[in-house]
Amino acid sequence: MSVRLIESLATNKPLTELFSDESVLRAMLEFEAALARTEAGLGIVPRSAAEAIAAATRGKNFDVASLAGQAIEAGTLTIPLVKMLRKRVRQNSPAAADFVHLGATSQDVADTALILLLKRAQPILEHDLERLEKRLFHLTEEHAHTVMVGRTLLQAAPPVTFGLKSAGWLAALRRCRKRLETSFHEALIVQFGGASGTLAILGEHGLQVARALAGELGLRLPEAPWHSQRDRLAALVSACGILTGSLGKMARDIGLLMQTEVAEVREPGGEGRGGSSTMPHKHNPVGCIVTLAAANRVPGLVASFFSGMVQEHERAAGGWQAEWPTVADVIQSTGLAIASMAGVAEGLSVDRTRMRSNIEATYGVVFAEKAMRLLAPKLGREPAQKILEQAVHVSTSKKRGLSSVLAEIPEVTRHLDRDTLRKLDAPEDYLGATQSFIRGLLAKPPSRKKEG
């Protein structure tokens, strides 16, 4: 299935296919077939009936347009789908039709189908997360000592290294990845509760069917049905929101570093990538743009999901019915952001020379803090502050190096020798605990313990 034009900057092909009509129907029909097989295995329905139901679910040409239209009238897609499935079963095995959907309710099908889609989405996201994490690790190692201007409130500040910046991206990504994995684990559970969430219609077999159904679908069995308890899905949606925000921070940094007057990094280019419809010289940060679009979009979707969590009693009117498109949009936006930043990181060019020249372009005023540290113990903090403010003004207005300006001030030269002043603007000498921080950020998080 191709990406719809209106969603062309909101998803990618693998996730479009995952949430396509065909994929959604397959997940719902998978539930019905698994339920029939499970109940046949427990002797609740004839094995021949289960086989007939399973065969009907494998059939093609379900009328999607008709199902969508009938879903509006029914308030759920499950009702018209079960009717259509029952009709198909009846054509080949009339007796088996009565066993379709036995013991289940509409929300059981809808929720479990959504969970099956999420289960298939997880490895798609994980693949690109692994790509991105691997590349950020190598970028950090490669540029641990690559000095650049630090920037606070978008103004030049004392130097950092590009490795420290990328290590920050990496550490955030690892935290988000762990959070996402945990929330996926908690969310990948079967929904099976019947009419009021008690499985009463199945009598003494209810829990057996639920347990076997979960195993048949490769999902975990929760303590109880969760028709109106949406916290697990909320945690997953929230984890996606946090991850997308962290990716957006990385994208914002790279986009700013790609500005013409900064030009310290560069996204990968190529035919049709990053160009302009009117300006041939442009190399736009398209991967960052797509990620930032997702980071702008996802918080509203997370809020939308949260607003639907207040659900009535044992089954809500309007709450869970709102979730499918919201969750699908969150997963697709998150997946696109991950894939986009993986591509950006894998092809990112880092200009060491430009980074150093941008430090030099500050005329050394970013080392005023360092000079203050040297002068304050000698002159007192307030006198040192006043001298440095005047020196910085001369440096910026006359476009002269701060160290040379300070070398002409007697109060300074009485306490700082020529060699100290000469090394004042050496960025490598003013990086503090940078390397310790990088080592800490690069350290692997505790191994993720996977539960069965």
Residues classed as catalytic: 276, 315
**What residues are paired with 161 via a beta bridge?**
147
Contacts 24+ apart (CB under 8 A), 219-225: 219/112, 219/115, 219/116, 219/119, 219/188, 219/189, 219/190, 220/188, 220/189, 220/190, 221/189, 221/190, 222/189, 222/190, 224/193, 224/197, 225/108, 225/191, 225/192, 225/193, 225/194, 225/197, 225/199
| C-alpha to C-alpha distance for 147 and 359, rounded to whole angstroms | 9
SS3 of residue 5 by DSSP: helix
| C-alpha to C-alpha distance for 384 and 361, rounded to whole angstroms | 24
| C-alpha to C-alpha distance for 329 and 159, rounded to whole angstroms | 40
25 close to 33: Cβ distance less than 8 angstroms:
no
C-alpha dihedral sign at 295, 297, 298, 303: positive
SS3 of residue 94 by DSSP: helix
Measured CA distances, 262 to 79, 266, 298 (Å): 58, 10, 29
Q: Please give the torsion angle defined by the CA atoms of residues 393, 399, 404 and 409, in that order, rounded to the nearest 10 degrees.
A: -30
SS3 of residue 189 by DSSP: strand
Name, in order, each residue with C-beta under 8 angstroms of 104's C-beta and a sequence gap of 6 or more. 31, 32, 35, 192, 194
SS3 of residue 298 by DSSP: helix
Which of 163, 122, 250 lies closest to 431, judged by CA? 163
Which of 437, 341, 333, 408 lies closest to 19, judged by CA? 333
Positions of E strands within 348-409: 349-350
Give the phi and the psi of residue 349 in degrees, each rounded to 5: -100, 130
Q: And the tokens for 54?
A: 């399973």
